[in-house]
Structure 1
Amino acid sequence: MTCLPVSVVIVSRERPDALDRCLTGISQLDYPDLEVVVVACPAGMTRIRSRFDARRIKTVPFDTPNISEARNLGIAAAAGEVIAFIDDDAVPEPLWLRYLMPAFNDAEVMAAGGYVVGRNGISLQWGARSVDHGGHTAPIKVADNAITVLHPTAQRAIKTEGTNMAVRRDVLASFGGFDPAFRFYMDETDLNLRLAREGLATAIVPQARVHHGFAPSIRRRADRTPKDLTEIGASYAVFLRKHCPKNQHDAQIATFISNQGQRLLRLMQSGQLDPLDVQHLLKGLKSGIAQGSERPLTNQPSLPKPSTGFLPYPTKTGTRHILISGRRHQRAALLDKARAVLKTGDIPVVLCLSHTALYHHLRYLPEGIWLQTGGLFGRSDRAAPLVQMTRLQPRAKAERRRMNQSWNLSPAL
């Protein structure tokens, strides 16, 4: 099967550690025809220069807080036939592009999206969804282990997530890329609606998975607690002006403010916010809505052809995914084994379990090791029984079987 050349575009601002971790994940991708484009602030550029693969990464300096402008600069630099996007606080699974890119072998498919795994590394954050002209999403039922090609309707577009999506470059360029009126939030949703307006098909690929960690930023803390809702409000107002009938705007905005207020109250009840925080955040939200209601909307010119040729990134193909299992008191030795696997060019996944029923968490360590921790008797799949009586070897087999929905793990060492 043909492997189309793909450019992976990463936008990063004031998160050099997260960017470095993301790039380490990119370096472990199994895909033969890949280039990497990073649009970053000075701190991100400095971090890239310190990496072993710095010469194989296209870089675009940019230090303005506008993700759409930054992505458009990345598109302009990208020379792949398809452009894939991932956030700097996310990490792809090694077979991400192996699963995602075959969707484009169907000439009808103009865009594709995969699934996004949440902070515990196991549960889905976002799966297959559609979205309407008010920005409201609804789940779509698709097969878990196959590419599903979907077509928009007059009422609903196919939703993709900005941290795990890909679009044909010629289509994206002809659309003018992302709309800079969306400085943060709903930039990809706006693109989904524009694709739908043209009746273009989008593929959903559940096995193409990205782990999204929500690193802290100027807008939120590491635990996802918001620090500023101004741009969220502004982007929602812009979205309504572009896509929603005018006579529905007031009702949609009222619902939006109510939903955000309820979210803030839940955070206050959990102790993450105090009443003054809630008041400040709602004030910023309403200010943003007012700003977005006045923000200029312009027709986006087509983006230029690539400014440079395709820069192949030296990924490896055919790497093995090695499962290393053991108990919590063996953690240091297990990680040493994992480092030895890394040196061979293969990818280690460490399963390190305590003699408890603690829930499982899977995370990606900056050095390039996937580490799953929890209790031998605890659940990984949150829909599984709360306690599972088992032994280490059968539990390792069960976890390998679960992960191999999107991995290719060998038997546990």
Structure 2
Amino acid sequence: MPTTPEDPDEGAQTRLADHETVRLPIQRHAVHGEDSARRPARRAPLALAAVVNSLWAAVVSLVPTLVVVWLSFALDSPGGAPLANVLRLGLGGWLLAHWVPLQTGIGTVSLAPLGLTAVAAWRVYRAGVHTSRAVGARARPRGAPWSPWPAARAGAAVGVVYAALGALAAAIAEHKGLDVSTVRVTLTFAAFGLVAGTLGAFAEARGIARLAARTPQIVRDATRAGAVAALLVLGAGAATTGMAVAFSGGDASQIIDDYHTGIAGQIGLILVCGFFAPNVTAWAASYLVGPGFSIGSETFISAAHVSVGPLPAVPLLAGLPSTPATGYAPLLLGLPLAAAMIAGWLLARRSLRGDPGRSWFPLLGAAALAGPIAGVLLGLCCAAAGGSLGAGGLADVGPHSGAVAFVAMFMVSIGALLSTAATTLALRAKRARE
């Protein structure tokens, strides 16, 4: 039982002593915490982080190519193929997905499968994110200004490692019947890794957000509206492609049956079509915008003119139109204008929700600038979706990117301006009534 001291001073001393015994561990813990806070956090070496993340990005994008090549060998040899041949052809397809032209027996092949390209770009972007995070590009001492150099070093390291991986892949893939330029592969992979990796590194370090915050409001609104319009036009192209293939499902099935292969070969052929589906989506977007696209020297497809020559036996091309747009088909040509008007409507709603009294000039200026931005984006997509499938009649495949960018620029600007002005008037009239 606790005893009460007879001397009050003795009790005070006892309570003080007890209090001190309780405080001593807390003080030691606080000092230990200060020492740990002053000690810099341990970070992974930049070279190690870049090698691990870039290698993983390459493996993730390479495996689908190897699987498709292994399945596609069933078209000619149901018993399979040697692992060396599968590896070489898979690496050749992987190089092609990075826009590396291949010199083959039928000529130059440079039509990149954009489905696989998107996977590779996404994984290299994530490699930049993880490398930037591993070296602490986002962390900085309290009160210190933000520096872009840690993120820039992370992106550059990813680019260097990815270039080395591309050179190694070119050395393995090159054999009789397939010739690639190692110098060009190295430079292409370095640029690919540098761009995608740096974007990921700066996104992780909040560099892109800082840049956007310092950009004028009119430029941010125009960029957002132009990107929305371009994505909607590409979405309309994807929907048009899907409907065309669905309506021509019998022809597509007949093309698959004509190969006389088993289930494995059919799966491989369908996966190849999936890899090139984004290319055909860009072609369909070019058709909707107006300029159209060509598949070699004898096939040209547009709403006003259709000329069909010999085509590759690919199920994805079964939905190509055989005549100019008639009946209800011309209504599809209004989809890009509808996409521009939706982008203008969203621009006005978002801007007026944040600032109801916003003046007309920044709103209409952003709508007008959305056209060039959408035109540039669509032109780049169409340029990436084109290439060559060999010499002779298939040397030029894809849409006319310059014409698509030019037409889309005016179409999006006009549609966004009309929609922004109408939406602004309607919202302000509704607010005035309320």
Shared fold, TM over 0.5: no
Work out which of the two has the higher radius of gyration on C-alpha atoms and give 1 or 2: 2
Q: Which has the higher helix share?
A: 2
User: Smaller-chain TM-score range?
Assistant: under 0.3
TM-score when normalising by structure 2: 0.22
Normalised to the residue count of structure 1, the TM-score between the two structures is 0.22
